[in-house]
Amino acid sequence: MNTYEAKALNVLLQHGTLTPAEISVYTKIPKARTYDTLEGLFMRGFILKKKGRPVKYIAKDPETMIAPVIEKMDAIHNSKVQTIKNQEKSGGLISKLKQLFEQRTTKQNLTSYEIFGRSNILSFLKTAITGTKKEILVSYNSAIDIMSAKNDISALLSSAISKEISVKFLTYTNPCALNPNLKECEVKVYPKQLVRFWIFDKTKILLYLNDNPATKENEEACIFIESPIIAAFLGEIFGLLSKEAIPLTK
């Protein structure tokens, strides 16, 4: 992370949501460099972006921002990562950044934002599943992401079920044939292609913008929406399709 990126991230942690122009004013980063600086942070999963005129950039909770970075480092520099983890026990990097995040001058109630890159999406899913209290609805076609040996989404779903959280799967293929962890979910097979989405606790939605298995890792994109009304609408569609689907024989 270069100096401009560090300055921009620090300001976003304090203010929550800002436009590139506002960030340029706060940080003294030249306007010509501000957009590239923010896009670099966004593509690496450090911040979020909300479309509009003008576009706005949003601070992420430091726990979800730093954790994926530590995971990637863990495979390469295990000893250094252990040092970071030990520092956290006595109030290290994440604790200090989280303090900035929680002391923002303007509290924001976010309703929607985009998430780009498969690794960033999977990181978000881990946080969303862990934070769910009652119900998870999943509409999927190929379940490639969930079945990947490189992530533990299915294990988190299994853990959610063990906590008596309802997990319902509507799929075009048989995910249980790929991963036995999902045999604990309520799974139904629909005879036609589906739109990929997740609904958490009838309030939060993660909607995929494509369903092409050949999509490159950095081109995968989702929209996160926090709206009970939209969640209820998609939940109704999920219920109607489930009535036409066939329960999976496990």
CATH number, domain containing residue 217: 3.30.870.10
**Dihedral pair phi/psi, residue 71, rounded to 5°:** -60, -40
Q: Write out 79-102 in H/E/C secondary structure.
A: HHHHHHHHHHHCCCHHHHHHHHHH
User: Taken in order 90, 95, 99, 102, is the CA torsion positive or negative?
Assistant: negative
pLDDT digits (tens, 9 = 90+) for 114-154: 888 888 888 888 889 999 999 999 998 765 556 554 557 77
pLDDT digits (tens, 9 = 90+) for 28-42: 999 889 999 999 898
pLDDT digits (tens, 9 = 90+) for 64-103: 777 666 666 566 556 665 666 666 565 666 677 777 666 6
For 62, left (φ over 0), alpha (ψ -120 to 50), or beta?
Answer: alpha
Question: CA 109, CA 128: separation in Å to the nearest integer?
Answer: 17
pLDDT at 149: 44
H or E element that contains 57: strand 56-59
Clarify whether residues 59 and 138 are in a common domain: no
Q: Are 50 and 113 in contact (CB under 8 A)?
A: yes
CATH number, domain containing residue 99: 1.10.10.10
The structure's pTM equals 0.62
Show which of 71, 104, 137 is a domain's final residue.
104
Clarify whether residues 237 and 129 are in a common domain: yes
Clarify whether residues 87 and 127 are in a common domain: no
pLDDT higher at 55 or 183:
55
pLDDT at 186: 83
Clarify whether residues 23 and 92 are in a common domain: yes
Clarify whether residues 119 and 240 are in a common domain: yes
Clarify whether residues 119 and 66 are in a common domain: no
Clarify whether residues 174 and 87 are in a common domain: no
Clarify whether residues 121 and 229 are in a common domain: yes
Clarify whether residues 138 and 238 are in a common domain: yes
User: Per the structure, how many domains does the chain have?
Assistant: 2
From residue 119, how far is each of 11, 38, 122, 171 by CA, in Å?
25, 18, 5, 22
From residue 40, how far is each of 18, 138, 165, 223 by CA, in Å?
16, 31, 37, 19
pLDDT at 178: 55
pLDDT at 198: 95
Instruction: Find the mean pLDDT for residues 149-166.
Output: 78
Judge whether residue 247 has pLDDT over 80. yes
Question: CA 173, CA 190: separation in Å to the nearest integer?
Answer: 8
pLDDT digits (tens, 9 = 90+) for 180-225: 666 677 888 888 888 889 999 999 999 998 876 667 777 788 999 9
Question: CA 128, CA 68: separation in Å to the nearest integer?
Answer: 14
CB burial class (10 A; 0-12, 13-18, 19+) of residue 34? buried
Clarify whether residues 98 and 144 are in a common domain: no
Q: Which domain holds residue 156?
A: 112-247
User: Taken in order 104, 110, 114, 120, is the CA torsion positive or negative?
Assistant: positive
Clarify whether residues 21 and 94 are in a common domain: yes
pLDDT higher at 60 or 225:
225
Helix axes 93-102, 62-76, angle to 10 degrees: 160
Show which of 104, 139, 159 is a domain's final residue.
104
Clarify whether residues 56 and 117 are in a common domain: no
Question: CA 44, CA 106: separation in Å to the nearest integer?
Answer: 25
Show which of 65, 85, 104 is a domain's final residue.
104
User: Taken in order 109, 112, 113, 115, is the CA torsion positive or negative?
Assistant: positive
**Dihedral pair phi/psi, residue 115, rounded to 5°:** -130, 125
Judge whether residue 235 has pLDDT over 90. yes
Looking from the CA of 110 toward its CB, the CA atoms found within 13 Å total 21
